[in-house]
Amino acid sequence: MNKKDLRIVFLGTPEFAVESLDTLVKNDFNIVGVVTMPDKPAGRGHKLLQSAVKQYAVTRGLHLMQPVSLKDPEFVEHLQSLKADLFIVIAFRMLPQIVWQMPRLGTFNLHASLLPRYRGAAPINRAVMNGDSETGVTTFMLKHEIDTGDILGQERTPIGPDECVGDVHDRLMSIGARLTLKTVNDILEDNLRPIPQEELLQGEEATPAPKIFKEDCEINWNLSADKVHNHVRGLSPYPAAWTMMSLADSQPVSVKIMKVSIVADLKALSPGRVTIDGNDILVDCADHPVKIEVLQPAGKRAMQAADLLRGLSPCTISIT
């Protein structure tokens, strides 16, 4: 079979999935359908927001489907009528068995971790938050239990000590597109040797990567400076770490902390204590202070700490 004969349905939603879809299109693969989330109202005007995958599919004239329910009989029937040989899933919702078992060559998923590490919804965030020095992407065959299928391919990349999750996300997006293309070519050439994840676990537990909620993003100043630093960069720029601050003796407000650096040559006196040192905002952690580099008070844009201090009189900040 050549690439023109291989009928592919692509399922994905955010920007992370677009580069892989674009790579397949530019390599002349036959994308017979694209499935993405329905448009959602967003903002004060409740204007309908299209997914990044939909926007791309429309510009390329690809056949688009946006089912409300993946079990809807009309959608399932339509999907079957496409006679796809292969489904590819990237950053989409959980598929029902009737869907992922449909194509004759099966369904594979691109996941943004080195499975079996970080199974779950937030693998990139969790890897950076935990201070990992390496991450990567994995393609694997879908089965009923989420993120547990046999591994088809992996690519690794280091995580720099000061990289934020946004940096890692963008790099994995490109690496993932390359691995997706390689996996499809390996399927075409019958060159796959799937590896059960149980072989890699060797009796150990898989690492979870649960969805991140607002309460998970609050900074715990009782932790070490290193852990606070990892927490902040693992959530920057989105959804962003936060803390409650009083600015110039005002009522406490939620402030997003976008970037910090560790002040290793100073000892902390009391976790959460704020010191203004010229144009610097220092906050004590369990061992050393961190310097807040970039922050975003509620309702305002992200700014350098020095810019915030220039706008405060008197320059008093406390964490509550």
Tell me: do 191 and 218 sit in the same domain. Answer: no
Tell me: do 149 and 21 sit in the same domain. Answer: yes
| Count of domains forming the chain | 2
Rg, the chain, Cα only: 23
pLDDT digits (tens, 9 = 90+) for 124-148: 999 999 999 999 999 999 998 999 9
Looking only at the bridges linking them, the beta strands covering 134-141 and 107-111 are antiparallel
Q: In CATH, what number is assigned to the domain containing residue 19? A: 3.40.50.170
Peptide bond into 237 cis (omega under 30): yes
Phi, psi of 108 (to 5 degrees): -115, 155
At a CB cut-off of 8 Å and minimum separation 6, what does 27 contact?
3, 181
> Are 103 and 9 a contacting pair, CB within 8 Å?
yes
1 assigned to some structural domain:
no
pLDDT digits (tens, 9 = 90+) for 90-110: 999 999 999 999 999 999 999
Average pLDDT over all residues of the chain: 95
Tell me: do 189 and 226 sit in the same domain. Answer: no
Question: Alpha-carbon distance 207 to 123, whole Å?
Answer: 9
Tell me: do 60 and 151 sit in the same domain. Answer: yes
Tell me: do 78 and 154 sit in the same domain. Answer: yes
Average pLDDT over every residue of 302-318: 82
Question: Alpha-carbon distance 184 to 102, whole Å?
Answer: 17
> Are 316 and 249 a contacting pair, CB within 8 Å?
yes
The helix (run of H) or strand (run of E) holding residue 296 is: strand 289-297
* pLDDT at residue number 110: 98
Return the percentage of the chain with pLDDT > 90, whole number: 87
Tell me: do 54 and 101 sit in the same domain. Answer: yes
Domain that holds residue 30: 7-201
Phi, psi of 131 (to 5 degrees): 75, 25
**Whole-structure pTM value:** 0.94
